[in-house]
Amino acid sequence: MGHAATQYLSEDSFDPYSQVYDFVSSLNGDCDPFPSQIETYFGQTVQLRDLSGRLLNRIQLINVGKGHDFYNLSDHYSGDTYLDYIAAKCWIDTAIERSPASINHISEGFNVLQGISFTEDTYSNERKFAKELGRKLSSVILKNKDNQRAFLSIRQFVKYGIANDYWGFTDELELKVSEVAVKAIGRKERVSMLDHEYGPFTRSEISQITTAIQDEKVKTEFRVLVGLAKRFGLRPIQLALLREDDIYYDKKKLAWYILIPRVKGRAAQLRRTEGNFTVRELPVELAAEINQLIQDHSNLVEMDADGKELPRPLFKAKKVNSEFLKHKLLAPYAWHVNSKRITSTFGIEIPQLLQLKSVYCRDEDGNPYPLKMNAYRFRYTLGTRMVMEGKTPEEVALALDHSTTASVQHYFKYNQDLIDFIDDTFEVSTALKNAALRWQGYFIDEDDNLEGSLIRVSDVLSIGKCLKKTLCEYHPTVSCYGCSRFRPFKDANHQKQLEVIEKEVEFVKNNSTGAVQHQLSEAYEGALQIVEAQKIMRGEK
């Protein structure tokens, strides 16, 4: 892996770029030719030249955990021989040294160099050239101020030229380009609780999803995906990289754990390298679901090109990637799904199966839109709730796999009072109208033969049954109302339990902070919805 595996045309071969090399050498003293073949960061062997010796303009690169896409490469970005050579070398070296994610923006962004040219006189003086190049690049950035990809590409282009000591690429050039400020274009505004399509889920939406995902028609794989996204805020690529042996039971601590691959910062390119994991404790229920998924797939086996068993991903592709099998370092990932597949599962397959409706977004006729779902909404929800629970920026950054706290500051933009106000406003209006929908099919009679433990509030009174097979680590008769495994009796006095929970909420609000408040708020909403559903079933308004 790296430059050691790079191959060039033989000395006897005709190279159509010989005049380019001569010009670059006249400025720099020497010149490295374009390779004919490279090995990428992830170990993929890639041919760069066609039969005539010219650079291919479309290169397929494998990005482990994400997929294999085509990226644009050119020997004629601007029309200026010198700039075109450096831009192409920047592309090639980036493909060797970094993941394809780093190629993504320059693959398109280098196109903004089009039209930049210099007179022969400009090349007579290095300082003059640097000044003129800085002026032209700054102008290009301003013309493309709404295109962040253009700014990032030019910045990478300049940094590459300086790092490789190319003639005319000076520190002054970098300062000149850096003076042009371009506003970042990101998705952080989606964290706003006011964005009901792409922002965090509200408590009622999480309750809807948690309940619906337990339906028997839902595949174990889908329940595990949602469970991991909800619990740890994992990105699609992290889910795609997980393997069965990342889940283990610690006999000393009597707990289940999961190893989560880190994918942000410098660690991003390491993928599943030893030491590039974060250890997280798994809730008993989620661990049981994962073990069930592993058991369901225990009869599946796939082999590599040498007949050896491939590593077992937690989420398996329907078909082994034959392209990965051609490369020794990529073969272990041949059975993994990619992040695009995970994204599609969250955004299309699961919503189509659950058929949940948004309680906030409606069309012009007043009909509710389908509840929009993606892995990042669970991630935003986790970050926002951690802020509500009083977590520090350092704790939020660690939980969400960010390398610095700068990446999580947007979660602190909205304080707890505003978030509570928004949640509570919907609780007492639209969400209550959907209470019957959430609990539809979950009410049972007291003489129902459904297997489960009775939940008693006294020796003679019960409020429902618990379908959990393990001991509950929370507060029975209270936390039940926020649990998807709870089956309430349709004729029980849930109003009385609601009053008990209201008193608990008031007490905790004055005497505690953190997760306890959050658990109680979920229980309170569940009880509120059940009481409302009872009224609807009885025909009360």
Clarify whether residues 261 and 196 are in a common domain: yes
Clarify whether residues 170 and 192 are in a common domain: no
Residues 465-523 have pLDDT tens digits of 887 766 666 666 777 877 777 888 878 888 888 888 887 777 766 665 555 555 667 77
As a whole number, mean pLDDT of residues 244-259 equals: 94
- Domain boundary among the residues 128, 144, 178 is at 178
Residues 255-287 have pLDDT tens digits of 999 999 988 655 555 578 877 888 999 999 999
- Count of domains for the chain: 3
Output the pLDDT for position 96: 87
Within a domain: residue 93? yes
Q: Is the pLDDT of residue 1 over 50?
A: no
Pull the structure tokens for residue 359: 């309680």
- Tell me how crowded residue 46 is: count the other CB atoms within 10 A of its CB: 18
- Yes or no: say if 39 and 62 are a contact pair by the CB < 8 Å rule: no
Confidence of residue 40 (pLDDT cuts 50, 70, 90): confident
Clarify whether residues 22 and 153 are in a common domain: yes
Clarify whether residues 369 and 462 are in a common domain: no
Clarify whether residues 86 and 147 are in a common domain: yes
- Yes or no: say if 240 and 342 are a contact pair by the CB < 8 Å rule: yes
Clarify whether residues 44 and 129 are in a common domain: yes
Clarify whether residues 360 and 492 are in a common domain: no
Clarify whether residues 153 and 192 are in a common domain: no
- Yes or no: say if 191 and 383 are a contact pair by the CB < 8 Å rule: yes
Clarify whether residues 163 and 208 are in a common domain: no
Within a domain: residue 414? no
CATH code: domain of residue 254 = 1.10.443.10
Clarify whether residues 162 and 199 are in a common domain: no
Clarify whether residues 159 and 214 are in a common domain: no
Domain of residue 455 covers 434-537
Output the pLDDT for position 470: 64
- Domain boundary among the residues 396, 417, 452 is at 396
With residue 368 as reference, give the H or E element that holds it: strand 368-370
Q: Tell me the one-letter amino acid at 280.
A: R
Residues 414-464 have pLDDT tens digits of 545 445 544 554 444 444 455 445 565 567 777 766 666 676 666 557 788
- Among 24-33, 104-113, 168-177, 359-368, where is mean pLDDT lowest? 359-368
Within a domain: residue 199? yes
Within a domain: residue 419? no
CA 385 to CA 176: how far, in whole Å? 42
- Domain boundary among the residues 111, 144, 178 is at 178
Report how far apart, in Å, the C-alpha atoms of 374 and of each of 70, 236, 286, 289 are. 25, 9, 19, 20
What's the whole-model pTM score? Answer: 0.57
Clarify whether residues 93 and 224 are in a common domain: no
Within a domain: residue 513? yes
Mean pLDDT of the chain: 81
As a whole number, mean pLDDT of residues 241-250 equals: 95
> According to DSSP H, which parts of 179-219 are helical?
203-212
**Helix (H, G, I), strand (E, B), or coil: what is residue 244?**
helix
